[in-house]
């Protein structure tokens, strides 16, 4: 029996990304706190949080492959998550303006069979993003659109934020919330069929 694919996320972007593949899945957001003891590197942090989210949901399932994911922005050794409020979003964007930064996204897959965790895969990818100079009026306007408020680094590359992104080096979907090439590799390792059968064309 094919286990259900479950996305352990409340992120509309991750839902959209997974939907674009055409594989059936259900959405079950986790309610874990995004706090981690110590001072992990950005790569360790996104892997720990992705695992935390996937495992929290996996424990509620009997047969499933659960996907957890987490994204942060790294700039000059600082980790920037989602802005706490309007002023925080302005501060983050002032720092990103005119700079290249790294976007880290971790993915965890947890396979549950008869209510037990059988396998776990954890990995992450990094994408470099170059943000053009943004002046104070542009930053204020952009934050007032509301787009930055639920996004790591206070911008959305898939939205209005694209106006100020000069270039990226690496995977685009990794920035938007989940690297689909990485997810594909991990699902293949779990023997989960991503490429679904297509109808044969009539002769």
Residues annotated as catalytic (active site), given as ranges: 70
Determine if 69 is a binding residue for ligand TTP (CB under 6 A). Answer: yes
> Which lies closer to ligand TTP via its Cβ, residue 53 or residue 112?
53
- 4: which strand partners? 64
Contact 174, 103 (CB under 8 A): yes
In the complex, the smallest distance separating the C-beta of residue 155 from ligand TTP, rounded to whole angstroms, is 6
Q: Which of 3, 4, 29, 160 binds ligand TTP (CB under 6 A)?
A: 29
Determine if 40 is a binding residue for ligand TTP (CB under 6 A). Answer: no
Restricting to residues 41-60, which ones interact with ligand TTP according to CB under 6 A?
53
Determine if 11 is a binding residue for ligand TTP (CB under 6 A). Answer: yes
Residue 185: CB partners within 8 Å, gap ≥ 6?
none
> Which lies closer to ligand TTP via its Cβ, residue 181 or residue 193?
181
- Which secondary structure element, helix H or strand E, spans residue 87, and what is its range? helix 86-96
Determine if 9 is a binding residue for ligand TTP (CB under 6 A). Answer: yes
- Which secondary structure element, helix H or strand E, spans residue 178, and what is its range? none
For the CA atoms of 157, 161, 163, 167, the dihedral, rounded to the nearest 10 degrees, stands at: -40
How many whole angstroms separate alpha carbon 129 and alpha carbon 133?
13
Contact 103, 71 (CB under 8 A): yes
Indicate the SS3 state at residue 129: strand
Question: Within 10 Å of residue 102's Cβ, how many Cβ atoms?
Answer: 18
Q: Which of 3, 10, 40, 170 binds ligand TTP (CB under 6 A)?
A: 10
In the complex, the smallest distance separating the C-beta of residue 31 from ligand TTP, rounded to whole angstroms, is 9
Q: Which of 70, 90, 110, 186 binds ligand TTP (CB under 6 A)?
A: 70
In the complex, the smallest distance separating the C-beta of residue 6 from ligand TTP, rounded to whole angstroms, is 12
User: How is residue 159 written in tokens?
Assistant: 């939205």
Q: Which of 66, 109, 152, 187 binds ligand TTP (CB under 6 A)?
A: 152
Indicate the SS3 state at residue 56: helix
Interacting residues toward ligand TTP by CB under 6 A = 9-11, 13-14, 29, 34, 53, 69-71, 73, 82, 103, 150-153, 155-158, 161, 175-177
């Amino acid at each position: 029996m094919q286990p259900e694919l479950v996305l352990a996320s409340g992120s509309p972007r991750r839902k959209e990304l997974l939907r674009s593949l055409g594989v059936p899945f259900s959405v079950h957001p986790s309610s874990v706190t995004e706090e981690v003891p110590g001072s992990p590197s950005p790569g360790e942090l996104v892997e720990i949080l992705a695992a935390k989210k996937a495992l929290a949901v996996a424990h509620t399932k009997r047969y499933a492959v659960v996907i957890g994911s987490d994204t942060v922005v790294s700039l000059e050794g600082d980790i920037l998550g989602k802005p706490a409020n309007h002023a925080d979003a302005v501060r983050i964007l002032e720092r990103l303006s005119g700079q290249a930064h790294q976007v880290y996204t971790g993915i965890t897959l947890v396979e549950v069979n008869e209510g037990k965790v059988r396998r776990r895969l954890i990995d992450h990818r990094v994408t470099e993003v170059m943000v053009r100079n943004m002046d104070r009026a542009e930053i204020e306007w952009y934050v007032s659109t509301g787009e930055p408020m639920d996004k790591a680094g206070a911008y959305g590359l898939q939205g209005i934020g694209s106006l100020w992104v000069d270039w990226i080096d690496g995977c685009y979907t990794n920035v938007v919330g989940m690297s689909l090439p990485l997810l594909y590799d991990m699902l293949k390792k779990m023997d989960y069929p991503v490429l679904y059968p297509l109808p044969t064309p009539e002769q």
